[in-house]
């Protein structure tokens, strides 16, 4: 009988593990084969299939909660950025429970508010500040283009129009470039905090380093996800009820692959 690579002790919301239950932990992460980027999604699909109804229900609850948070005037979007890693930590605990052949519960989404909350919130602070900085950089660049247009008397001549368009494109490209290292630092940080009790700054550094070691697998992973996102968006975006959970679980399966041997 074939052994299930995801067999492990059971885990419950009330008993969130402080460390992954089996395998040899690699503190700095390891470089894995390029094809593993595809394997993370395959493994995530296998975990999703164990309890698809609950995964979809959890995704719906998450969407509703985040939507309600964003509706709060002025501070809603800031709170969403701040609490994102806290929710992510709970989802990682849910992935661990399913991997351990346990039951996924809606409560897993809020497990980050019960364990390591302060550390996860500090990662949220980094997330919030990083996006504020990126936003300000874009505003400065786009604002410079608008100022140049205004100095031209508000008359959109060919030169000023091209200059404004170029400044806007430069701002977008720079935002994309700056967002990559932010995502790298954030990608595995909630899992490292929630499941391995890392401190926030070491978790961010370790996540960044692990992603840097695995640029090629992540490129393959990204290309596949891009194609899947197009397909998921076609039928009124209903496919995201499946792709969303699979994407979240793939963060966990990637974490297991990179940070555990055996």
How is 102-142 classified by DSSP, letter by letter?
----GGGGGGGGTSSHHHHHHHHHHHHHHHHHHHHHHHHHH
Q: For tokens 């630092």, what's the residue? A: 185
- pLDDT number for residue 12: 45
**Residue 134 CA to its chain's centroid (Å):** 17
Largest CA distance in the chain: 78
Name, in order, each residue with C-beta under 8 angstroms of 133's C-beta and a sequence gap of 6 or more. 178
Residue for token pair 């990682």: 92
Q: What distance in Å separates the CA atoms of residue 19 and residue 12, rounded to the nearest whole number?
A: 14
Angle subtended at Cα 191 by Cα 198 and Cα 136, rounded to the nearest 5 degrees: 90
* CA-based nearest residue to 120, from 196, 194, 231: 194
- Please give the Cα distance from 100 to 252 (Å, whole number): 13
Beta-strand relationship, 260-261 and 24-25:
antiparallel
Rounded Cα–Cα distance for residues 195 and 188 (Å): 11
User: In the chain, what are the domain boundaries?
Assistant: 51-261
DSSP track, 74-88: TTHHHHHHHHHHHHH
The answer to whether the beta carbons of residues 99 and 47 sit under 8 Å apart is yes
Rounded to two decimals, the pTM is: 0.85
Q: What is the pLDDT of residue 237?
A: 86
**Helix, strand, coil share (%) of the chain residues, nearest 5:** 75, 0, 25
The pLDDT value recorded for residue 5 is 40
Cα dist from 63 to 59, 79, 125, 139, whole Å:
6, 15, 21, 29
User: Mean pLDDT for each consecutive 10-residue tract of the chain (262 residues)?
Assistant: 40 47 85 96 97 97 95 89 96 96 95 96 96 86 66 57 69 86 97 97 98 97 95 88 96 97 76
CA distance 30 to 254: 11
Query: Under 8 Å CB-to-CB from 250, ≥6 apart: which residues?
Result: 40, 41, 43, 44, 221
The two three-digit tokens of residue 93, written as one number: 């605990």
């Amino acid at each position: 009988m074939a052994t299930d690579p995801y067999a492990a002790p059971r885990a419950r919301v009330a008993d969130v593990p402080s460390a992954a239950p089996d395998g040899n932990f690699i503190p700095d992460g390891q470089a894995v084969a390029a094809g593993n980027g595809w394997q993370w999604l395959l493994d995530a699909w296998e975990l999703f299939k164990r309890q698809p109804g609950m995964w979809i229900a959890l995704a719906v609850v998450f969407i509703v909660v985040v939507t309600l948070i964003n509706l709060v005037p002025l501070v809603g979007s800031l709170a969403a950025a701040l609490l994102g890693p806290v929710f992510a930590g709970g989802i990682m605990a849910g992935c661990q429970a399913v991997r351990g052949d346990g039951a996924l519960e809606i409560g897993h989404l809020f497990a980050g508010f019960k364990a390591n909350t302060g550390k996860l919130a500090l990662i949220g602070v980094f997330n919030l500040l990083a996006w504020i900085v990126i936003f300000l950089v874009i505003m400065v660049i786009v604002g410079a283009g608008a100022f140049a247009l205004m100095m031209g008397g508000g008359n959109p001549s060919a030169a000023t129009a091209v200059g404004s368009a170029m400044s806007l494109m430069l701002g977008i490209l720079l935002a994309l470039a700056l967002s990559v290292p932010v995502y790298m630092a954030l990608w595995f940080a909630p899992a490292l905090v929630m499941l391995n009790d890392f401190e926030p700054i070491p978790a961010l550094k370790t996540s960044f380093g692990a992603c840097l070691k695995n640029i090629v697998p992540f490129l393959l992973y990204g290309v596949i996800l891009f194609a899947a996102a197009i397909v998921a968006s076609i039928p009124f975006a209903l496919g995201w009820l499946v792709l969303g959970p699979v994407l979240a679980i793939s963060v966990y399966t990637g974490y297991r692959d990179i940070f555990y041997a055996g």
